[in-house]
Amino acid sequence: MQQTINVTFRADYHITPELSIQYYGSPFASSGEFTNFKLINNPMAKEFSDRFHLLGGDNSDIDQFADVWGLKNPEFTFTQFRSNLVFRWEYLPGSKIYLVWANERTLFQQESTKKITSAFNGLGQVFPCNVFLIKINYWFSL
């Protein structure tokens, strides 16, 4: 079972026609839990149910096969928050200065979160990736 939540929001605020602030944010979380693992024992059997052996419903048999087949627990929780803030100033007609701050936090855990809303809990402790940028445009009229 996989649960995913994603929201994208954006806000623009124009202080004057030449001065504006824009904000963009996008939280994302996905959590996957796997059950009913099967071991293929007769892939050519006519009946589908005869092609595999169902491992324990509570995944207890997986530990028996983990060493032999290299199985790992495939459950996961992936959480990410991306945002950017843009300050735009048109200092001359057609000429602009942009100040940008982009921020990203990503967290991958090798375990499933039962409630998808709790996937965001550990994101505050993740070291953010910050990018600061300045862009200057100047309009030359010929």
Copy the structure tokens of residue 93.
């007609």
In the chain, the percentage of residues whose pLDDT exceeds 90 is: 46
Contacts (Cβ under 8 Å, ≥6 apart) of 141: none
How large is the average pLDDT for residues 38-46?
86
pLDDT of residue 60: 55
More confident residue, 41 or 116: 41
**Residue 138 class from Cβ within 10 Å (0-12 exposed, 13-18 middle, 19+ buried)?**
exposed
- Residue 66: pLDDT over 90: no
How large is the average pLDDT for residues 14-27?
96
pLDDT of residue 67: 54
Q: Which phi and psi angles does 124 have, rounded to 5°? A: -70, -25
